[in-house]
Amino acid sequence: MPGFTSTAIPILVALCLSLSAQLLAQSAAEPRFTIWLSEDGDFLRFEGSIHYGATEHLSQVLADTPSIRHLRLNSGGGLVAEARGMVRLIGEYQLSTSVYGDCESTCALVFIAGTERMLEPDARLGFHRYHQTSPVMAMFMNSDAEQEKDMAIYRKQGVAEHFLARIIETPPNEMWFPSKAELLDAGVLTRPFHDFPTEQP
């Protein structure tokens, strides 16, 4: 029967890893997010894709400015690994979080790490089930298993099980935007809203 020989399989894996490394290097050179520090050094604003380098950049800004207490988010999501790195930093520095605009997919994971969590006026949180779009990464990662790891973060932050079930039920190509009442009831928000200055930090 046709198939890969024992010699061909390692070669194929090596080629896939090499291609992935090249793609990662190319992507890392393309900034897709911006982090602003407020004039008073009290809070940060993160805007754009949660892409390669987001955790490293955030870590550097937090280390350089120990007065930061809050992270504002506006992102359509991005890479799970980078989002988890941001979650770790939020916990380490005990930051509160808020959303201005939309915070979707893995951005919601970053948001849920906050010690206090709130929406700014007209802001939305969007949730859906994970899906691995890269055929190369799909060889090494199971989307369901990775999502379950992150559901544990939501549980640790006190989010209700019925809310987590709804996330899993939402197809990857759709986005569920719960109402503020649903978010408060499920423990996603700890406060109804927060107003911040409208000027650029």
What whole-number distance in Å separates Cα of residue 151 and Cα of residue 168?
9
Q: What is the mean pLDDT of residues 12-29?
A: 46
Q: Who wins on pLDDT, 2 or 41? A: 41
**Residue matched to tokens 């930093």:** 89
Residue-averaged pLDDT of the chain: 84
Decide: helix, strand or coil at residue 168: helix
Q: Who wins on pLDDT, 190 or 139? A: 190
123: which 2 tokens?
A: 């802001």
pLDDT of residue 25 exceeding 50: no
Q: Who wins on pLDDT, 79 or 25? A: 79
pLDDT of residue 82 exceeding 60: yes
pLDDT at 143: 73
Q: Quick check: 83 and 51 in contact, CB under 8 A? A: no
pLDDT of residue 31 exceeding 90: no
53: which 2 tokens?
A: 């380098």
pLDDT of residue 13 exceeding 50: no
Which overall architecture, per CATH, does domain 31-185 show?
Alpha-Beta Complex (3.90)
Q: Who wins on pLDDT, 179 or 146? A: 179
pLDDT band, residue 135 (cuts 50/70/90): low
What whole-number distance in Å separates Cα of residue 70 and Cα of residue 41?
10
pLDDT at 131: 67
Decide: helix, strand or coil at residue 47: strand
What whole-number distance in Å separates Cα of residue 48 and Cα of residue 177?
19
What whole-number distance in Å separates Cα of residue 172 and Cα of residue 114?
25
pLDDT of residue 184 exceeding 70: yes
pLDDT at 193: 77
pLDDT at 4: 44
